[in-house]
Amino acid sequence: MQHHQIATEDVTIHVAFTDVNDGDFQIDSDSEQLAANRAQIVDMQWSWPRQTHSNKVVTVTQPSGFVGEADGLITRALNTPISVTTADCVPLVLVAADAVGVVHAGWRGLQSQIVQKCAHQMRASGSTPIKTLLGPHIHVADYAFSPEDLQPLAESMGPTVVGRTSSNEPAFDMFQAVLQQCNAASLQLPEAAENTSSGKFFSHRVRQDAGRQATVAWITQND
């Protein structure tokens, strides 16, 4: 697990990206084991969506458990972990001085501008993102894409999202897509993250894994 802490004047924003050693966070997995896995990361009531590769972002005002269909969550509430799950898609976290947003972004979510949607919704509520954190996702070397499917992505996000795999097949570069989205939303550009093709992570594309990583963020009051 990677655990980041960003302290502001009044609060600390915590961000955790899990790996296979932390267990499976697939929301339809065994409920008791899922609860135990979550408690090992942060022992509070989590809030999570059913992800549909949309650009829907939900604001969470209190610990809620399941919040419905969405691919992004935002909160300003203390001690209210919000989470998304991934196996190859991009987990992105937007950190403000008093709020945090988590995003699940695959190619459909990126095409529908979920990153900009989350940033806009945070700003509309009075919270300006100051830091962007990127979690493990599939890298271009392992993400083969048909030229027909790549064309509309290049048209909507620019030619930098088109790359080649390690075997020289056409590929979609999600890191470049995230950078493009962050630029469009005037966000800090995130640093590169690890590749889910590694055995350290679950990967649907490389190994057809059923398991999922969790990205969870929460806010605590500074002493």
Q: How confident is the model at residue 182 (pLDDT cuts 50, 70, 90)?
A: very high
Please enumerate in sequence order all residues whose Cβ is within 8 A of that of 207, keeping only pairs 6 or more positions apart, or say none: none
**3-state class (DSSP) for residue 45:** coil
Strand partners, 72: 57, 103
Indicate the pTM of the whole model.
0.96
Fold type of domain 2-221:
CNF1/YfiH-like putative cysteine hydrolases (3.60.140)
Chain segment 20-51, per-residue pLDDT in tens? 999 999 999 999 999 999 999 999 999 999 99
* 103, 217 Cβ separation under 8 angstroms: no
If DSSP codes are grouped into helix, strand and coil, which group holds residue 106? Answer: coil
Do β-strands 57-60 and 72-75 pair in parallel, antiparallel, or remain unpaired?
parallel
- Contact between 65 and 58 (Cβ < 8 Å): no
From the list 119, 126, 105, 95, the residue with the least C-alpha distance to 55 is 105
Percent pLDDT > 90 in the chain is: 99
Q: How far is CA 129 from CA 68, 110, 117, 154, in A?
A: 24, 18, 12, 27
Indicate whether 93 pLDDT > 90: yes
* Distance of alpha carbon 101 from alpha carbon 84, whole angstroms: 10
Mean pLDDT computed over every residue of the chain: 96
Residue type for position 78 = L
- The answer to whether 165 and 141 are in contact (CB under 8 A) is yes
Asked whether residue 223 carries a pLDDT value surpassing 90, the answer given is no
